[in-house]
Amino acid sequence: MAIQNPPVSQTKSFSTVFLIEMWERFGFYGMQVLMVTYMVKKLGFADVDANLVWGAAAALIYATPAIGGWIGDKFLGTRRTMLTGAVVLMIGYALLWIPTNNTYALYFALGVIVLGNGLFKPNAGNLVRKIYEGDDVRIDSAFTIYYMAVNIGSTVSMLLTPWIRDYVGAHYGDALGWHTAFGVCSIGLVLGLVNYYFMRHTLAHIGSDPDERPPVAKNVIAAIVGGLVIIAASAYILQSQSVAKACVYLAGVVVLGIFVHLIRSSERGERAGLIAALVLTVQTIFFFIFYQQMSTSLNLFAQRNVDLSFNVFGFELFRWIPEQFQSLNAIWIVILSPVLVWLYNSLGKHGKDFPVAAKFALGFAAVAAGFFMYGLGALSAVNGAISSWYMVWGYGLYSLGEVLVSGLGLAMIARYVPARMGGFMMGAYYVAVGVAQYMGSVVANVAAIPENLTDPLESLQIYTSLFNKLGFVGLGCTAIAIAMLPLMKKLSLDHALANVPPVPPVHNEDL
């Protein structure tokens, strides 16, 4: 008689995905935090070019999960595709480890990272959903913890990789410092894969149908060929700004067209929910234009116009490395998320929870206040450098806006879009976010500093002018979101009424 293995708990299965996701985000954000300044300081890119290359890479990184999720569901298996994505990402970061200043090597490495992210990201999230399928009570908590994994991994790496770059660079040369820091991102994925190897049995029963069968040779070959095409296409797009711009804006038109087509062809009961999803998606796009400033204009602002000394009552506690300011975003999210979850639950218990559209309005108000914070800091700047504290509070307000807007984006798709088109619309949503990331880089170039400008007072004026304008745009988005509240309330009500299950008829014999 065969001995059956005891069932694996949901917690153990979730822990396996949680840990590999944490290490994957460690690698990604460790790379992101350095990328724009690497292009500017090491490869000699102008601010304008560095911002646009990273903007195009971010757009591709957000677009490819739509393809990766489809491959996982239909061809290779969710579990198998996630693992493949982690291996490809490890290779991509390892390519950045190679000490070369060749720009085409950079584009190729970013292309590999685009592919790896596209394979990994949607399938890791899908495994979490499958682990808790049918358990509505625990799935919300699971995704909250999963989101924390993203921020734990990113916080550690955004603090660590700039320090490694500076330490190794000071002792063994600047070039080795940059590439060693990128290499640490690859090592993070190695650790994640080793951990997955020892815990893989906890996911043996989780996945899509193709996971339960041996890989089909033609599917594997098609995936390899398709992956090579994606890498080559990504590298080509990144090295040509005109091609990147055309592809991104074409993608934006396609996403808008998809929404319009679905709204026009949908059933009457589905239409209100789709229109609500479209309105909130457009608002989310505006948010991600703000979001992209973190790795572009705010990053370069920290290089030139922020006092790196962190002082309390006149005493220096420590000194920041400019790129490390980006970690404030993840730190604040870790702090704010539990507070907002408690607030939502408390209001919900008393029937006073406010709608998603109202949370979007509050989020934009917080983002606007965050950008005004940098302009406020300029009023007390010393020799063109604002206090680090203004960056702390500016990132805090901006992060509050992110939790209110970005954190609700996927929930909005799940709530308003019919289940039969949920996966497709999730992919379209990510493509829209990618378009917004590129548009954010275009906006960041409003504050691109000319190469011959070295006066910090002039660069401070250029940056704070952009940040103040973004603050006013944020106020405009807040006003629009508030003005849309009555419409959104009506659309939400229509959507709810259309989805109320019919009451079965009462027959005399039932009385």
Give a yes or no: residue 244 inside a domain.
Answer: no
**Each residue's pLDDT tens digit, 48-100:** 999 999 999 999 998 888 788 888 888 888 889 999 999 999 999 999 999 99
| 272 shares a domain with 392 | yes
- The yes-or-no verdict on residue 492 having pLDDT over 70 is no
- The yes-or-no verdict on residue 4 having pLDDT over 50 is no
Last residue in a domain, options 239, 262, 296? 239
Last residue in a domain, options 207, 239, 271? 239
Q: Which residues of 90-107 are buried (b: 16+ CB within 10 A; e: fewer)?
A: bebbbbbbeeeeebeebb
CB 206 within 8 A of CB 131: yes
Which amino acid, 155? Answer: T
Q: Can you tell me the distance from the alpha carbon of 489 to that of 484, in angstroms, rounded to the nearest whole number?
A: 9
| 336 shares a domain with 208 | no
Q: What is the pLDDT of residue 495?
A: 57
| 344 shares a domain with 217 | no
| 265 shares a domain with 201 | no
Give a yes or no: residue 503 inside a domain.
Answer: no
Give a yes or no: residue 506 inside a domain.
Answer: no
462: domain CATH number is 1.20.1250.20
Q: What is the pLDDT of residue 3?
A: 43
Which of 284, 328, 282 lies closest to 302 in space, CA to CA? 328
| 333 shares a domain with 225 | no
Average pLDDT value for residue range 344-356: 71
Q: Can you tell me the distance from the alpha carbon of 268 to that of 271, in angstroms, rounded to the nearest whole number?
A: 5
Average pLDDT value for residue range 269-292: 79
Average pLDDT value for residue range 393-412: 79
| 197 shares a domain with 275 | no
| 15 shares a domain with 127 | yes
Which residues are paired to 312 by β-bridges?
315
| 231 shares a domain with 293 | no
Averaged pLDDT of the chain: 84
Domain holding 296, by residue range, is: 254-497
Least confident of 431-435, 447-451, 479-483, 496-500: 496-500
Task: Give how many domains the chain has, as a whole number.
Answer: 2
Q: What is the pLDDT of residue 193?
A: 94
| DSSP codes of every residue in 396-448 | HHHHHHHHHHHHHHHHHHHHHS-GGGHHHHHHHHHHHHHHHHHHHHHHHGGGP
| 378 shares a domain with 431 | yes
Give a yes or no: residue 396 inside a domain.
Answer: yes
